Amino acid sequence: MIDLRSDTVTKPTKEMREASFHAEVGDDVYQEDPTVQLLENKAAEMLGKEAALFVTSGVQGNQIAVLTHTQPGNEIILEEESHLFYYEGAAISAFAGVQPRTIKGNRGAMDPNDIEGAIRPEDVHLPETGLICLENTHNRAGGSVIPLETMRETYQIANRNHIPVHLDGARLFNAVAATGISAKEYARYTDTVQICLSKGLGAPIGSIIAGPQEFINQARKWRKRLGGGLRQVGVIAAPAMIALTEMSKRLDEDHQHATQLAEGVKEAGFELAYPVDTNIVLMDVSNSSFNGAEMVKRLEEKGVKSVQFGLDLVRFVTHYDVDEVDIDNAIKTLKSINGMV
């Protein structure tokens, strides 16, 4: 099978497995795991933040950020198809007791003027705006890169209104690869940032939250409350370090494969929902004889795994474990399904 469902399906490399086997370990709840400490220090340095915290997943990282930044009864501003709103099981309401204020973005990017207009004034009838959340790259917008200038303007608005900004940077290093702008520069326009190490970077598990030291101290307690206290976790942090420092340098290859696949989608007679910025291709089948579910089923029958992304959209994600030959074969499959081969 050619698995294009997500970059989360990547397998750890041989180097990662060996690093895990040889890792120095200690009880991280006591902050005694030297490998975790190296990872957290390196991540904080790369993101330009005072401190960082290793967590089990991107969702856990995002939820810890919301819990640490906000109070129950707050409202948070976020894009209407952001991962935090769309795919995290309403955890912001279930755990943090906050309500979402969603804004329609342009390819995932909220207009800073719309954000400013959504900030609540002081009024006994209204919730307080407790947090602004951004997502870069934006999953449901086809891996779109949020422009740095948009982030800068948003951060200036947030600062004027004394509201923190959290970045869901699950695929931030894809934005770095696509633009040449450093992760530190993107993170500069945030108070806190979460990055996933287990997507395109290929680690078997884990994410990072980074921000001010005081924030990370509070976040560590929320991690414990959520059952995320980690023990001899150097065996996971060692491959995560390779993901952060080495695998982040090869994402251009995934982007090239995504561009190759996007051209093939058009050659096969289908349309793209969005231009391709990074490693996600959203195919629109609304003008074909298939809906999204039917297309996903037909593809899998012919050896290509994908996911339905709305009634008439199919998502493909390129990653370390697919190569140019796999992409060529996926394109041939699309053509055969559409009666072109």
CATH code assigned at 262: 3.90.1150.10
Rounded to the nearest integer, the mean pLDDT of the chain is 97
CA distance 254 to 210: 26
What pLDDT, on the 0 to 100 scale, is given for residue 66? 98
Residue 1 forms part of a structural domain: no
- 302 backbone dihedrals φ, ψ, rounded to 5°: -105, 15
Residues 227, 177: one domain? yes
What pLDDT, on the 0 to 100 scale, is given for residue 198? 95
pLDDT band at 273 (very low <50, low <70, confident <90, very high): very high
Across 43-62, average pLDDT: 98
pLDDT tens digit string along 63-108? 999 999 999 999 999 999 999 999 999 999 999 999 999 999 999 9
**Structural domain of residue 89, as residue ranges?**
12-248
> Residue 76: helix, strand or coil by DSSP?
strand
pLDDT tens digit string along 231-268? 999 999 999 999 999 999 999 999 999 999 999 999 99
Residues 108, 209: one domain? yes
pLDDT band at 340 (very low <50, low <70, confident <90, very high): confident
Among 205, 221, 248, residue at a domain's last position: 248
Residues 234, 212: one domain? yes
Residue 304 forms part of a structural domain: yes
> Residue 209: helix, strand or coil by DSSP?
strand
CA distance 134 to 106: 13
Residues 234, 268: one domain? no
Q: Which residues contact 71 (CB under 8 A, 6 or more apart)?
A: 97, 128, 130
Residues 290, 216: one domain? no
pLDDT tens digit string along 276-324? 999 999 999 999 999 999 999 999 999 999 999 989 999 999 999 999 9
Beta bridge partners of 101: 77
Residue 26 forms part of a structural domain: yes
Residues 294, 161: one domain? no
Q: What is the amino acid identity at position 236?
A: I
Across 160-178, average pLDDT: 98
What pLDDT, on the 0 to 100 scale, is given for residue 218? 98
Q: What is the amino acid identity at position 269?
A: G
Domain count, the chain: 2
What pLDDT, on the 0 to 100 scale, is given for residue 341? 66
Across 166-193, average pLDDT: 98
pLDDT tens digit string along 185-226? 999 999 999 999 999 999 999 999 999 999 999 999 999 999
